[in-house]
Amino acid sequence: MTSLLEIKNLVKTYSKQPEPALDDVSIKVEKGEVVVIIGASGSGKSTLLRCINRLVEPNEGEILLEGENILDPTYNVNVLRQNVGMVFQSFNLFSHLTVIKNLTLGLTKVKGIPIDEATNVAMDILERVDLADKADNYPAELSGGQQQRVGIARALAMSPKLMLFDEPTSALDPELVGEIISIMLSLAKEHMTMLVVTHEIGFAREAADRIIYMDKGKIIEEQPGNKLLTDPQHPRTKQFLQRIRK
């Protein structure tokens, strides 16, 4: 059976960096799975997500979405962005557009949905993230947590097959983290396929079907469930977990 996402021997190098950002990375993600990636800053986690969404072009390897190589020059990037939603650490909302227009833009421009229908879809999603009352506000009028919820809603509005989360709580004040984790946990319970880069070990412990530890562009260890957190096998994984638990 074809995996929803299969990454094969991915390599990404930058001219000014002696070490590869990604060094022969291979991962499979099945439909309905929540896979969490942990690791120190600079370990290649964000670069990996950006390659999957074609925001960064890898030097070598393949990325297959439902068996199709999305790195093929003929692959339609707009189709990719419909199927793969991404939530960034820095929100990336259009500051000059209201919340509702941030959501309807992709629906009308990319999917070609009429504005009335797009508005209905967007309002349903905003209801889901408890922000329907902020539809006509601008991002600057919202808290960081609310802006990130809009970012999640915008990605969900496209009905993606896969959601990528790139440290979605790292730019938030500690008291706002919980509201984002709560939404992500509800998505996990609904069997949304998710690939999540995070330092929130509590989320990993509760939601992950698998946890991957990356270091220096490589996958060092991969374990089912939270086994990696409770019984890490590689010395570098143990060292990392000891460091973040202090």
Q: Give the pLDDT confidence of 120-132 residue by residue, as tens digits.
A: 999 999 999 999 9
CA gyration radius, the chain: 18
Q: Which of 3-7, 12-16, 33-37, 89-93 has the lowest mean pLDDT?
A: 89-93
The mean pLDDT of 186-209, rounded to a whole number, is: 94
Q: Which residue has the higher pLDDT, 92 or 29?
A: 29
Decide if 97 contacts 105 (C-beta within 8 A).
yes
Backbone torsions φ then ψ of 212, nearest 5 degrees: -115, 135
Domain boundaries, the chain: 5-245
Superfamily (CATH H level) for 5-245: P-loop containing nucleotide triphosphate hydrolases (3.40.50.300)
- Residue 126's Cβ-side half-sphere holds a number of Cα atoms within 13 Å equal to 23
pLDDT band per the 50, 70, 90 thresholds, residue 18: confident
Residue 246 has pLDDT above 70, yes or no: no
pLDDT band per the 50, 70, 90 thresholds, residue 53: very high
Q: How far is 208 from 224, CA to CA, in rounded Å? A: 8
The mean pLDDT of 197-207, rounded to a whole number, is: 93
Instruction: Return the C-alpha torsion angle 135, 137, 142, 148, nearest 10.
Output: 40
Residue 184 has pLDDT above 80, yes or no: yes
Backbone torsions φ then ψ of 24, nearest 5 degrees: 60, 55
Q: The whole model's pTM is what?
A: 0.93
Instruction: Return the C-alpha torsion angle 131, 177, 153, 143, nearest 10.
Output: 50
pLDDT of residue 113: 93
Distance of CA 191 to the CA centre of its chain: 15
Q: Give the pLDDT confidence of 131-164 residue by residue, as tens digits.
A: 999 999 999 999 999 999 999 999 999 999 999 9
DSSP-derived letter for residue 69 is E
Residue 108 has pLDDT above 70, yes or no: yes
